């Protein structure tokens, strides 16, 4: 017997938080009975979500170089483009974390709910590296502030790695590596210093980079990359 949340996550129904929401909403049944949060079940039970019987599928791991205009969601009421439109539809996968529609770059999609939870949990410090193009010329003292931590409305950020890659009179390109996953964190950090973000691209997620992928392209992770990704979750 295993926790129902784990089984649903492995079946591709999203992160632990998302599958818990499904259970709370009462749309999950086990052998014809409405499931309860914390319930255990067997993989041989008749488990259904909104009447659809779940299928435990092989685990897949895709690295996508996300283009602009695509949403990191499984469902959109306005039928806008989604990142899941760019990868195979079976087995069902979900994005690990979110990138804004106007943000490009490295995005992992998988049906491995346990790995996804670890990569997103705040207790684990998985590095994410961004190229940030901002308006204005970034001052050296502001780079040092990024490296020490920035006070945002939800608290002080952890120290980041920051480096100016290119600078003109009108804009600056900054490489910024963070280990948190707060909502719109990079944009808020730069805005707090007075630099509006003009463009944002995630170069690297943990040990993975998209140097070999054009925007909109994806590839399967190798076994060594999957092992390396698991190893990036520091306990």
In this structure, how many other beta carbons lie within 10 angstroms of the beta carbon of residue 29? 17
Distance between CA atoms of residues 56 and 6, nearest Å: 11
- Residue 160: alpha-carbon gap to chain centroid: 18
Catalytic choice (46, 76, 85, 100): 100
H or E stretch at 129: strand 128-135
Angle at 25 between CA 74 and CA 92, to 5 degrees: 25
Is 112 catalytic? The answer is no
Provide the pairing of β-strand 103-110 with 197-205. Answer: parallel
Nearest one of 57, 27, 24, 32 to 43, comparing CA atoms: 57
**HEC letters along 89-157:** CCCCCEECCCCCCCEEEEEEEECCHHHHHHHHCCCCCCCEEEEEEEECCCCHHHHHHHHHCCEECCEEC
- Residue 168 is given by DSSP the state -
Residues with active-site annotation: 100
């Amino acid at each position: 017997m295993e926790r129902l949340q784990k089984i649903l996550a492995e079946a591709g129904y999203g992160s632990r938080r998302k599958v818990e929401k499904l259970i709370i909403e009462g749309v999950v049944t086990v052998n014809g009975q409405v499931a309860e949060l914390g319930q255990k079940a067997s993989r041989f039970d008749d488990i259904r979500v909104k009447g659809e019987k779940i299928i435990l599928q092989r685990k897949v791991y895709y690295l996508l170089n996300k283009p602009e205009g695509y949403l990191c969601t499984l469902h959109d009421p306005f039928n806008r483009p989604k990142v899941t439109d760019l990868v195979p539809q079976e087995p069902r996968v979900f994005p690990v974390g979110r990138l804004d529609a106007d943000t490009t770059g490295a995005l992992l999609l998988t049906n491995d709910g346990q790995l996804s939870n670890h990569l997103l949990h705040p207790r684990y410090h998985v590095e994410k590296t961004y190229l940030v193009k901002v308006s204005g010329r970034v001052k050296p003292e502001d780079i040092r502030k990024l490296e020490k931590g920035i006070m945002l409305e939800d608290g002080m950020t952890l120290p980041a790695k920051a480096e100016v890659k290119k600078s003109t009179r009108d804009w600056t390109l900054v490489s910024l590596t963070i280990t948190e996953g707060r909502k719109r964190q990079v944009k808020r950090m730069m805005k707090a210093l007075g630099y509006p973000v003009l463009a944002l691209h995630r170069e690297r997620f943990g040990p993975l980079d998209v140097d070999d992928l054009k925007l909109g392209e994806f590839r399967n992770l190798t076994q060594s990359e999957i092992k390396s990704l698991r190893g990036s979750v520091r306990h």
